[in-house]
Structure 1
Amino acid sequence: MAPEAARPRIVVISGTNASGKSRLALDLAARLGGEIVSADSRQVYTGLDLGTGKVTPEEQARVPHHLLDVADPRERYTLFDYQRDAYAALDDILARGKVPFMAGGTGLYVNAVVDGYALVDVPVDPDLRAEIEPLAPEVLAARLERDHPEYAAITDLNNPRRLVRAIEVASAGVSVDDFHTKRPRYSALHFGVTWPREVLADRIEERLDRRLADGMVEEVEALLASGVTHERMLELGLEYRSVSEYLRGEWPSLDAMKAELAMQIRRYAKRQMTWFRKRTDIEWMDMSAPDVDALEARIRAFTAA
């Protein structure tokens, strides 16, 4: 493993939902002639546009983006898939003399690349999934804690998708120690964007209103019509879960669904911030008064060193 000073250099911009990280990355990449690798676990899927806040075709024309629309939403795109593809995209950007940016809010994706997780490609086990996917989260959690307590200690026990995957990986005989092995291949300048809590809550509410007005319900209808199942929508979470439930008549009104969804997004943003706060390498910036010129100068100095 090369010492940090000898590694290729990348810029990372992390933050919660509705924090403005994508816009900031776009502006900085445009100034610096860079390209952006998305670090969002749902933007990899085609058709998941409004619900994920995916950058528009016009924005993608302004700055090249990578790892958007690379997977079928009816299939699962794993952390291993993401790390492999992100490495390839970053290496390609570097080889062409451009400044590589990573931008997104999926903390596990960011960590897998920045820290260089030594991942093992464990394929989906259809038989095992047929057995355990119908189980309630508390049953899955109890099974994981009983059979693989070392995995239970590093898994979100309230997230059925994570629980199923943890049981699947553990059952394949992969040691949890593999997830603690790190082989970083880049030196990263890592920025985090943040807002006062009440301002972020307002931004989340406003963005949700805008997405619904722009056709988010229709987007989910189109996904369902294309063969994405309701069960898969539940796995995709947040906007897709709630709107799919609404379309099935499980909410008394659109307003009731929206109010609950806004609360869920706020809670998720809080969990995102908790995750990112664990990293000691992030330079935090209050987006109430961002100094983009200073950031540009900081990045130029870092990439020139």
Structure 2
Amino acid sequence: MRITMMMTQQAQPSLLQIPTGGMNFPMIRCHPQKEKVVVVMGATGTGKSRLSIDLATRYPAEIINSDKIQVYEGLDIATNKISEEECDGVPHHLLGIVDPEADFTAGNFASTASLTMKSIVGRGKLPIIAGGSNSFIEALIDDQNYEFRSRYDVCFLWVDVAMPVLHRFVSDRVNRMIRDGMVEEVRKMYNPNSDYSKGIRRAIGVPEFDAYFRAEYSSSSNRQNRGKLLEQAINETKINTCKLACRQLEKIHRLRNVKGWKIHRLDATPVFENHGDEADKLWAEAVAGPGSVIVNQFLFNFGHSRSFVAATNSGTFKRGVAMAATAI
């Protein structure tokens, strides 16, 4: 298996929102405890990447992808990978780094993400894990040896959207992906002997088009039949994406209610019910703002790690603090 690391150009920490009442940074040094990690969870399409980048531009942070399909190289449209422009200068890891024919398991993720986190913490940065594959996140955090819990404190943020609203958004998103060239992208890697249970071919939007591509190769298939198969493939992609969102939501409820994870829910439903500037305003009020408050409360306590405190005492970071304090 070929595993490398993709990193966008590292951004300088620029803006930090601090709790009201002031903060005595030297006092934080008194009782260093575990390192800090933020995990952004949610069903597909809810805005996990957007929130993780919002947070990463407020703190000295780097993002670790925990989407089991986006770890693979290729199919950027079908897997809805974040673009370099959308990364906004924030370093991203485990994104498009695995051979598409390989199998990357939850165990592979746990070991690779652990090494990446140690590297990020060693540079005085905050690791932010973001993605919809809750099985990957669970394998990392509740490992058999309790290594993660003994080393890290974790803050869970859950971006939630009411399912009827999310289903409409997912349907529209699939339409946009089709317009952006998803069919041609999947066609380029089509193989009639493909195993859709392995590698990147497990991605929703790949096996659904098998019958359509087979018809293209068949001399007995007419244009009308191919048109029906294409429409069917698109509808199946939408249905299976909605089913995925439901399964992801069920897993989050299990982690929260059965395993007892303390997961902070952020309701983004009003954002998806609006458009343009109003949606952006609601995102700031309902998701990014409350999420930052939760992360502030999590980070700035007497048990914060030495490495992150060193980063927050840097000149660049303190200037960001002053800017935030002025804006409050």
With the length of structure 2 as denominator, give the TM-score of the two structures: 0.67
CA-based RMSD of the aligned residues comes to 2.3
Whether the 8 Å CA contact 1:45–1:71 is kept in 2: the answer is: yes
2:9 maps to what in 1?
A: none
Report deviation, 1:267.
1.1
Q: State the AA in 2 paired with 1:113.
A: L
Q: 1:246 aligns with which of 209, 212, 217?
A: 212
Q: Report the Cα distance in structure 2 between the residues aligned to 1:63 and 1:89, rounded to whole angstroms.
A: 15
Q: 2:266 aligns with which of 268, 285, 302?
A: 285
Q: 1:19 aligns with which of 33, 36, 46?
A: 46
Q: Report the Cα distance in structure 2 between the residues aligned to 1:293 and 1:266, rounded to whole angstroms.
A: 28
Change (3 A) 1:58 1:32: same
| Uncovered stretches (5+) of structure 2, i.e. residues with no partner | 1-31, 217-225, 257-261, 271-281, 302-328
Q: 1:275 aligns with which of 251, 267, 285?
A: 251
Whether the 8 Å CA contact 1:42–1:48 is kept in 2: the answer is: no
2:195 maps to what in 1?
A: 231
Task: For residues 84-114 of structure 1, give each alpha carbon's deviation from its aligned partner in whole angstroms, at most 9, with x where no partner exists.
Answer: 1101111111111112100000011111122
Q: State the AA in 2 paired with 1:284.
A: R
1:295 maps to what in 2?
A: 291
Q: How many residues align?
A: 237
1:79 maps to what in 2?
A: 106
Change (3 A) 1:198 1:74: same
Higher relative contact order (CA 8 A, sep 6+): 2
Identity of aligned residues (%): 30
* 4+ long deviations beyond 4 Å: none
Matched position secondary structure for 1:74 = coil
Change (3 A) 1:228 1:90: farther
Whether the 8 Å CA contact 1:13–1:102 is kept in 2: the answer is: yes
| Uncovered stretches (5+) of structure 1, i.e. residues with no partner | 119-180
Q: Report the Cα distance in structure 1 between the residues aligned to 2:167 and 2:65, rounded to whole angstroms.
A: 23
Matched position secondary structure for 1:36 = strand
Q: State the AA in 2 paired with 1:108.
A: S
Report deviation, 1:183.
5.4
Matched position secondary structure for 2:86 = helix
Q: State the AA in 2 paired with 1:267.
A: K
Matched position secondary structure for 1:230 = coil
1:32-181 to 2 correspondence within 5 Å?
32-60=59-87, 62-118=89-145
Q: State the AA in 2 paired with 1:265.
A: T
Whether the 8 Å CA contact 1:230–1:244 is kept in 2: the answer is: no
Task: For residues 114-145 of structure 1, give each alpha carbon's deviation from its aligned partner in whole angstroms, at most 9, with x where no partner exists.
Answer: 22345xxxxxxxxxxxxxxxxxxxxxxxxxxx
Change (3 A) 1:95 1:228: farther
Q: Report the Cα distance in structure 2 between the residues aligned to 1:65 and 1:11, rounded to whole angstroms.
A: 14
Q: 1:265 aligns with which of 241, 249, 256?
A: 241
Change (3 A) 1:117 1:105: farther
Q: State the AA in 2 paired with 1:47.
A: G
Q: State the AA in 2 paired with 1:301.
A: Q
Change (3 A) 1:62 1:182: closer
1:135 maps to what in 2?
A: none
